[in-house]
C-alpha cells in the first residue's frame, strides 16, 4: 500500500490527479478474477485505501507547499535506471548490441528531458 499511496499523493499534488482506474473493483465483492484489485482484497479494502489517500492529501493541502513530499518523476527515474544499466552493460561487454541499447537509452532520456524542459511534463 505504501507505494500506491505515495504514487497517488504525487499524482494529486504535482499532476492532474489520480483515479481508481477500474470502477467495478469499487462496486463488487466476489469477483472471480479480482480484476482491478490486488490479490484477495475486498471492496472495503479498496475503498479504505482510497479514503486513506484522500485523508493524506487533505492534510498535505493544509500545509505550506514546502512541507509537501518532494516531487518524484517516475518516468525519469525509470529512464535514468535504464540508462545506467545500458552504460554498465556496454562497459562490461562491449558489442554492437550493447552499443545500440546504450544509444537508444540515451536518445529516450534526451527526448524526455526536452519535454520536461519545455514544460510538457
- C-alpha 61/C-alpha 63 separation (Å) is 5
- C-alpha 37/C-alpha 41 separation (Å) is 6
With b for 16 or more beta-carbon neighbours within 10 A and e for fewer, the 94-112 pattern comes to eeeebeebbeebeeebeeb
The whole-number pLDDT of residue 3 equals 65
Spell out the per-residue pLDDT of the chain, length 121, in tens.
456 788 888 888 888 777 766 677 777 666 555 566 667 777 788 788 889 889 999 999 999 999 999 988 888 889 999 999 999 999 999 999 999 999 999 999 999 999 888 876 5
Residue 43 is given by DSSP the state H
Amino acid at each position: 500500500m505504501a507505494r500506491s499511496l505515495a504514487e497517488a499523493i504525487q499524482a494529486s499534488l504535482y499532476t492532474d490527479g489520480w483515479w481508481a482506474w477500474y470502477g467495478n473493483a469499487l462496486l463488487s465483492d466476489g469477483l472471480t478474477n479480482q480484476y482491478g484489485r490486488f490479490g484477495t482484497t475486498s471492496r472495503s479494502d479498496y475503498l479504505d485505501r482510497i479514503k486513506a489517500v484522500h485523508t493524506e492529501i487533505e492534510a498535505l493541502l493544509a500545509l505550506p507547499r514546502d512541507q509537501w513530499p518532494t516531487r518524484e518523476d517516475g518516468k525519469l527515474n525509470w529512464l535514468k535506471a535504464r540508462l545506467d544499466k545500458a552504460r554498465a552493460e556496454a562497459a562490461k561487454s562491449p558489442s554492437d548490441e550493447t552499443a545500440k541499447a546504450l544509444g537508444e537509452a540515451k536518445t529516450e532520456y534526451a527526448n524526455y528531458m526536452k519535454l520536461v524542459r519545455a514544460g510538457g511534463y
